[in-house]
Amino acid sequence: MITYNDGLFTITTDSFTYQMKKDAFGHLLHLYYGSPIEGDASSLLSLRDRGFSAVPYEAGLDRSYSYDYLPLEVSVLGDGDFRTPGIIIEQEDGTLSASFRYLCHRIYKGGALLEGLPCGRIDDGESLEITLKEDLSGAELILTYTAKDSSLLRGMKLVAKDKKITLKKALYSMDTIAMDQDVIWFDGRHCSERNKKRAHIDTSTLTFSSRRGATSHQMNNSFILCSHETTEDHGEAVLLSLLWSGSFTFFAEKDQYDSVRCGLGAGSEFFSYDLKNQELVLPQLLLTYSPNGLGDLSVKNNRFVTNYIRRKMTGGLKNPVLLNNWEATYFDFNGDKLISIAKEAKNLGCDLFVLDDGWFGKRNDDYSSLGDWFENRDKLGMSLDELSARIKSLGIGFGLWVEPEMVSEDSDLYRKHPEWALAVPGKAPTRGRHQLVLDLSNREVVEYIKNTLDDLINRGNLDFMKWDYNRFITDFHSSVTLPGRIEYDYIKGLYSIFEYLGNKHPSLLIEGCSGGGGRFDLGMLYYTPQSWLSDDTDAIERIDIEFGSSYIYPISSFGSHVSAVPNHQTKRVTPLFTRSSVAMLGSYGLELDPTKLSEEEKAEIRREIKEYKELCPIIKDGDFYRLLNTPDASCCLSISEDKKDGVLIAVRRLSHGNPKDHYVRLKGLDNKTLYRLGDKVFYGSFLMNYGLLLPFTYSEDLEAIRVRIKAL
């Protein structure tokens, strides 16, 4: 429910209350965000003289009122608030000052629909729209709030009038009065994405960002704010996650009175967007709240993402188990080899064969051909449509790898259109994986990509596309777009391609990828319902990547494959059952050459695929709980929403002489229900309050167990 009463805006669901107030001068104060409350939270504000804090002119001689300490909904540089601002506006004459005041508001049914940007697909919720007007330029800032279950989507749009303004920073802020808080972030590197880290918020400002033009492996654009005491099972926590795939900035700081401010939004130092009689819609921010710890927070958030953000496929292959040939062949294949792999994949029970890098132009390594999206007939020994038809005749779907945002200097496309690559005139462009980035802020380039891919999908009769992105943007200079606009316009261009392809080919499943999980975010999940999780295919390393990612995204969105041993990244030899168990925590697939497997391995993989297909509804629609994650062992549980059917998966790393036992307490079950686990039967209350002895055999390193949990 959303109410407005004498300047007080209250957004309440069964799970939270979010409250704001228009003050006497029209500024919007942020009052409260947490478990549901009744009443006006402004009664907690302490108005007293604060030394050296600026006072708004309208407050006259009253020194007790200052935006330097009051919790604000919109924090702006140059309006008497010395804390880190969320928004910086440069006026036409270069002045860094702005002041936003209430103009009007409306409350309406349904969600806020954003054109050309990802947004929550909510038809039955309620939304609030508040319009603020800026004193100097007359520009309007339109704030939107859509509440549903435990989540709130915030939106911002800036509408400039006939005075030019430049938006230099555009972050959502969250102010909380005097509370000890921690921030959790997810950092990493290529092959090691989303490591969970935690720090106490203090007076020095913590900032995390990506200035890479993409979300990045190095820092995810989701953060958790929680009380200092919050654990996996107890305490308040809020997840903030941007529906955005480009550069971003986050900060968190404690002010002089111990109140916490954090900010999160699109754009880095490269962002500077000038507007005159134009508007800019900023990406939405998802906030999910839980009073019951980080485990419950992930469950709630993942349900919301599954129901309202992540793309739902209507036609096409349903949860296909795929085989991807990258680690099987790298660039070294021909059409016959691919067909023999696809045939064996079909025999094992796969639904889809995905042909990875190396099928186009004259690409036999990563030095050339990006941009030339026509098949290499000499290498394949046939045309793309023939290859596709022959693979499909085996009774298996066909998918193709593309990297449409990139261009190799050694390509026909670059020779024809060097101006389509982002590069700074007079300066040699910086290369990444020997390639340049196409200028997706240029409509001509976007149109070219749309048409090329449309043609490719038709010619290849594609069921699936793996969309890769293997370097970040360094040279923010376009032949058509002002430099400060590129970060934003590039991503809008990218989204417009997904919109186009989604409308034209509704049953085409697109898997996001950026050298693994370098652009894994809610913006991408809105268009590409799954993403290749990491280029590290080692099962043991992937457990940590899966656990880290599960704080933010549903596990079924993780492209998860069983790879060959020794593993290509770590050289580790992990038992097949363990590799498969870890891959089951995601959208399952194979990343190996099935023609090289022994008959025994093939039989095991066949059984594993069959089992995954049985478990898939739980993995896809159920709730995921992390039960244990230590250097010694990890354990997690996926349980259907009706709490009747689940699977527990645990992996123990190194063996020890005289090993200790491993016990876990289960979560998400029904206390009074009897569950069968193998040949034993337990009440939910027993498993959740006392626990379960994990049935490891302790006979070898890297041992996995899977326990099916079924309500009687």
Give the integer Cα–Cα distance in Å for 699 and 681.
25
CB-based contacts of 229: which residues, under 8 Å, 6+ apart?
A: 235
| CB nearer to ligand DGJ: pick between 473 and 705 | 473
| Closest distance to ligand DGJ from the beta carbon of 532 (Å) | 5
The three-point CA angle 510-494-409 to 5° equals 95
Structure tokens at 532: 């290749």
Distances (CA, A) of 167 to 273, 686, 693: 5, 57, 57
Whole-number Å distance between alpha carbons of 293 and 626: 12
Taking the complex as a whole, the smallest distance from the CB of residue 469 to ligand DGJ amounts, in Å, to 9
Catalytic-labelled residue, pool 40, 187, 258, 601: 601
Q: Pairing mode, if any, of strands 151-159 and 279-290?
A: antiparallel
CB of 537 to ligand DGJ, least distance (A): 9
Please say which residue, 218 or 256, places its beta carbon nearer to ligand DGJ. Answer: 218
Please report which residue ranges of 482-621 form alpha helices under DSSP H. 486-504, 522-527, 539-550, 576-583, 599-621
Distances (CA, A) of 85 to 170, 171, 214, 280: 9, 8, 23, 19
Answer whether 512's CB lies under 8 Å from 520's CB.
yes
Asked if residues 442 and 422 have their Cβ atoms less than 8 Å apart, the reply is: no
Q: Which one, 53 or 369, has the nearer CB to ligand DGJ? A: 369
Q: Minimal distance in Å, beta carbon 590 to ligand DGJ?
A: 13
| Shortest distance, position 562 Cβ to ligand DGJ, whole Å | 14
Task: Give the C-alpha separation, 572 to 574, whole Å.
Answer: 6
> CA-to-CA distance for 698 and 633, rounded, in angstroms?
12
Following DSSP, what letter does each residue of 388-443 receive, concatenated?
A: HHHHHTTT-EEEEEE-TTEEESBSHHHHH-GGGB---TTSPPPPBTTEEEB-TTSH
Residue 169: burial class (beta carbons within 10 Å; 0-12, 13-18, 19+): buried
Least spacing, CB of residue 401 vs ligand DGJ, in Å? 5
Q: Active-site residue 336, yes or no? A: no
| Closest to ligand DGJ by CB, 176 or 560 | 560
Task: Compute and round to an integer the Cα radius of gyration of the chain.
Answer: 26
AA letter at 692: L
Taking the least distance from each CB to ligand DGJ, the nearer of 68 and 357 is 357
Rounded Cα distance, 608 and 630, in Å: 26
Q: Cβ 634 to ligand DGJ, closest distance in Å?
A: 24
Question: Which residue number places its CB atom closest to ligand DGJ?
Answer: 357
- Residue 453 in tokens: 């891919």
Give the angle 176-181-185 at the CA atoms, nearest 5°.
110
Q: 616-651: b or e for each residue (b if 16 or more CB lie within 10 Å)?
A: bebbbbbbbbbbbbeeebbbbbbbbeebbbbbbbbb
Determine the Cα–Cα distance for residues 153 and 34; give it in Å rounded to an integer.
15
Instruction: Considering the complex, state which of residue 468 and residue 475 has its C-beta at the smaller distance from ligand DGJ.
Output: 468
Distance from CA of residue 433 to its chain's centroid? 24
Q: Which is nearer to ligand DGJ, 253 or 468 (CB)?
A: 468
Q: Is 521 a catalytic residue?
A: yes
Find the shortest distance in angstroms from Cβ 468 to ligand DGJ. Answer: 5
- Is the distance from CB of 82 to CB of 54 less than 8 angstroms? yes
The answer to whether 534 and 192 have CB atoms below 8 angstroms apart is: yes
- For residue 592, the minimal CB distance to ligand DGJ (Å) is 13
Q: Determine whether 598 is exposed, middle or buried from the number of CB atoms within 10 Å of its CB (0-12, 13-18, 19+).
A: exposed
Give min distance, CB of 470 to ligand DGJ, in A: 5
- Closest distance between ligand DGJ and the C-beta of residue 400, in Å? 11
Interface residues toward ligand DGJ, by CB under 6 A: 326, 356-357, 401, 468, 470, 513, 515-516, 532, 535
**Measured distance CA(650)–CA(627) in Å, rounded:** 9
Minimum separation from the CB atom of position 517 to ligand DGJ (A): 9
Residues 6+ apart with CB under 8 A from 457: 465, 501, 504, 505, 508
Task: Tell me how far the alpha carbon of residue 190 is from its chain's centroid.
Answer: 16
Task: List the catalytic residue out of 521, 541, 593, 623.
Answer: 521
Residue 685 Cβ, how far from ligand DGJ at the closest point, in Å? 44
Looking at residue 619, what DSSP letter applies?
H
**CA distances for 589 relative to 68, 394, 594, angstroms:** 54, 18, 12
For ligand DGJ, give the closer residue by CB, 186 or 401: 401
Bridge partners of 102, per DSSP, are 132
Q: What are the Cα distances from residue 65, in Å, to 24, 606, 633?
A: 11, 70, 54
Output 489 or 535, the one with its CB closest to ligand DGJ: 535
Cβ distance to ligand DGJ smaller for residue 356 or 410 = 356
**Nearest residue to 388 (alpha-carbon basis) of 316, 315, 459:** 459
Residue numbers annotated as active site: 521, 601
